[in-house]
């Protein structure tokens, strides 16, 4: 699953960073995720990826990315109008295309360490 690969990459980078900083305890990690990702899958992936690492006890905060939810013409985005593969949203009312840059991204916002 896509979520696992994304989470694993972040976990590896964080573990490396903590090791370089003298292994302080990681208290809280805050991510923003794109609309093609599922929160439940991300949480599950986080649990698996952090098991047995310095990140296992950290609190995970997930926040959905704010994708364009409304077209200039007033039409509201519906999930069935989103072309996730192309990262585009096609407005059914005016046929305007809206790119969704963050659609597949998992972005690290903040990593809070002890001390």
73 binds Zn ion (CB under 5 A): yes
The C-alpha atoms of residue 61 and residue 66 are separated, in whole angstroms, by: 16
Which lies closer to Zn ion via its Cβ, residue 78 or residue 96?
A: 96
Which lies closer to Zn ion via its Cβ, residue 13 or residue 76?
A: 76
The C-alpha atoms of residue 78 and residue 11 are separated, in whole angstroms, by: 32
Minimum CB distance to Zn ion, residue 59 (Å):
40
The C-alpha atoms of residue 61 and residue 112 are separated, in whole angstroms, by: 11
48 binds Zn ion (CB under 5 A): no
| Rg of the chain on CA atoms, in Å | 17
Footprint on this chain of Zn ion (rule: CB under 5 A): 71, 73, 75, 91, 93-94, 96
């Amino acid at each position: 699953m896509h979520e696992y690969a994304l989470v694993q990459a972040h976990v590896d980078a964080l573990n490396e960073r903590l090791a370089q900083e003298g292994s302080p305890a990681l208290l809280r990690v805050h991510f923003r995720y794109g609309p093609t990702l599922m929160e439940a899958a991300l949480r599950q992936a986080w649990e698996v990826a952090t098991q047995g690492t310095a990140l296992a006890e950290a609190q995970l905060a997930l926040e959905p990315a704010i994708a364009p939810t409304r077209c200039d013409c007033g039409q509201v985005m519906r999930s069935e109008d989103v072309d996730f593969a192309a990262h585009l949203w096609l407005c059914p009312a005016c046929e305007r295309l809206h790119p969704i840059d963050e659609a597949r991204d998992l972005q690290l916002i903040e990593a809070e360490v002890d001390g």
